[in-house]
Amino acid sequence: MINIRLATLEDLSILQTLNDEVFVDNAKYDSDLNLNWSKGEKGRKYFSDILVNQDVFKVIAEDGGKAIGYLTAIEKLIDYRKSKYLEIENMGVIPEYRSKGIGKQLMEECFIWGKQNGYQKVFVNTYIANEKALKFYKKNGFNEIDISLEKIL
């Protein structure tokens, strides 16, 4: 039975480990990723700040007490747009639990929380080459609104 619960400061190392899995997976799309970030001091501070911030949505999915996924979302300020935005900053499910509806459950909890807290839209970004993630987000109601570009100097 999958249980989704709020994450607390005691879950710091769990979030760091789960995020590390996302980074390892995303490395094939971004050679510039610092693969030591999640478990390093900057990752520790980032997740510590999230876990103590009451305005951040943060949950962990568990199967029999084993952490199998997570999602964090925070307000995204877009001054030139009318809606109040919630941004999914981090989301991941460990490889053996992917494509089993865990990500969908995590997002549905996020959507409920967002509506209860006055948000009108949810924002997420992913690597354009990550076709599986793009398909997942579109299947769950997201639409493309822009594209980010980068140039190596």
In this structure, the strands spanning 57-63 and 2-6 are: antiparallel
According to the model, what pLDDT value does residue 150 have?
Answer: 83
Tell whether the model's pLDDT for residue 1 goes beyond 90: no
CATH number at residue 98: 3.40.630.30
Provide the number of structural domains found in the chain: 1
**What token pair was written down for 115?**
């509506």
- Mean pLDDT to the nearest integer, 47-57: 95
Tell whether the model's pLDDT for residue 34 goes beyond 90: no
The answer to whether residue 149 sits within a structural domain is no
Domain span at residue 122 reads 2-139
According to the model, what pLDDT value does residue 85 have?
Answer: 96
* pTM for this entry: 0.91
Tell whether the model's pLDDT for residue 33 goes beyond 90: no
- What's at 33, amino acid-wise? L
What are the angstrom distances between the C-alpha of 103 and each of 40, 80, 83, 138, 144? 25, 30, 25, 13, 19
The answer to whether residue 56 sits within a structural domain is yes
- Mean pLDDT to the nearest integer, 92-121: 95
According to the model, what pLDDT value does residue 42 have?
Answer: 94
The answer to whether residue 134 sits within a structural domain is yes
- DSSP result, 57-102: EEEEEEETTEEEEEEEEEEE--TTSSS-EEEEEEEEE-GGGTTTTH
